[in-house]
Amino acid sequence: MRNSIFLVVFFSLVAIGIRPTEAQDYRQRLYAPGDYGSRNWRIPAIRALPDSSLLVVNDRRKYNEGDLPEDIDIVARRSTDNGRSWSEPVTIAKGTGRGHGYGDPALVTTLQGEVICAFAGSNGFFASTEENPIRTFIARSSDGGRTWSKPEDITAQIWGSKALNPDCRRYEGGFCASGNGLLLTRGPHAGRILFATALCRDHREVDNFVLYSDDNGHTWQVSHLAYRGGDEAKMVELSDGRILLSVRQNGPRGYNISEDGGVTWGTQGTWPEMTTNACNGDIIRATRGNQEVLLHSITNSMKRENVSIFVSYDEGKSWCNPKTLCPGKSVYSSLTLLPDGTIGAYIEESTLKGCELWYINLPFDW
C-alpha cells in the first residue's frame, strides 16, 4: 500500500514538472519549449534578495535557440516561498526583431537592496564592431524585481575608442557573464558592485576584465586585465576580502585573484581537478553557523552534461566532492544561498524539443 501511494505521488509530481530525488528537497520546471509562446528558454540567473524573496531572470528565445543578434527578451519571475510557487514572467527588456534583442542577464544587489540586471543587446559578440556593436545595458528594480527601469546603455564606458580604460580601446565587443555579479561586503571596498566581462579582439580572441562601480551602478570603471584568453567568468569574495575569479575553459578551469577590490589581478592559473566542458557555471560562498565553503556549479564532463556542484573547503585553492545535480544533458547554471540556509539552483536541461529551465532547492548538508 505504501509503495502504491508513493508511486501515485511521484508520477503526479512528474506530470506537473516536479521530479524529486533523494538529494533534492524540491525541483520544479519553470520554463519548457512552447511556454508563453516561446520556442526556447536559456541563460539562467538566480538571486536571493534582502526581502527574503527569490528572483530568477533568463532569456526568452522566442523563435530559435540562437544567441544574439536573434530576437530575444529578458524576463524575470519572483518567489516568496523559497521557490514553491512563482509569479508570472515580467519583461525586463523586450526584443523587437533580429539585431534588436537582448540576452545573457546577470544579477547583483546593492547595499541599499536595489537589484541591478546587466545584459547584452543588439549585435552578436564576435560580429561586433564599433559601428555596429554588441551593447551592454543595465536595468534596475527597487521593488524586488516586480518592475524595472528602462535599459541604460553603458557600452561606451567599457570598450571601444572612447573607453575610460585605455587598455580596452582596441577591443571590438564585450558582454557580462550571465548569472551572478558580486557585491563586496568586507574591507575598504565594501559596497562595490562588480560584473565579470568578456571582451573580444580580432573577432576571435577573448580576454576578461571586471566592470565595477562604487556609486551603486550609476557610473562604471573597468579593471586591468584579469585573465588573458578567457571567456565567461564569475567571482566570489573570499573570507579575507580578496576576490576569486573563475573562468570558463575547455579543460582545466581558469582562475585569478585580486587583492584590491577587483582593480588589479595576480597571476592566472588553472584547477586541474575541475576539468570540464567550456561552459558557464556559478560560484558562491555558503555559510551555516561556523562552517563556510565555496560552491561551484559546472558541467562535470567534457560534454554539456552532468551539471554538478564542486566544493572548496580552503577558499578556492582546491576543489573536491563534485555531486551531480542533473545527470543528463545540461548546460548553464546559477546558484544562490537562501535565507533558510538551503541552496537554490537554476539550471538549463536539454531535451529533444529544446532547453528547459529548472529550479532546484538543496539542503546545505547535501
Active-site residue, selected from the candidate residues 232, 237, 282, 348: 232
Peptide linkage before 69 cis (omega within 30 of 0): yes
Strands 134-141 and 251-258 come out as: unpaired
CA distance 295 to 205: 29
Q: 21 with 27: CB under 8 angstroms?
A: yes
Whether 332 sits among the annotated catalytic residues: the reply is yes
Whether 63 sits among the annotated catalytic residues: the reply is no
Cell of 241: 576580502
**Concatenated DSSP letters of 99-138:** TS-EEEEEEEE-TTS-EEEEEEEES-TTT--SSS-EEEEE
CA distance 348 to 358: 7
Angle at 213 between CA 211 and CA 219, to 5 degrees: 100
Whether 232 sits among the annotated catalytic residues: the reply is yes
Active-site residue, selected from the candidate residues 67, 71, 172, 305: 67
Using the Cα atoms of residue 7, residue 11, residue 17 and residue 21 in order, give the sign of their dihedral.
Answer: positive
Q: How many residues does the chain have?
A: 366
Closest C-alpha among 334, 302, 332 to residue 236:
334
Active-site residue, selected from the candidate residues 31, 102, 332, 346: 332
Catalytic residues: 67, 232, 332
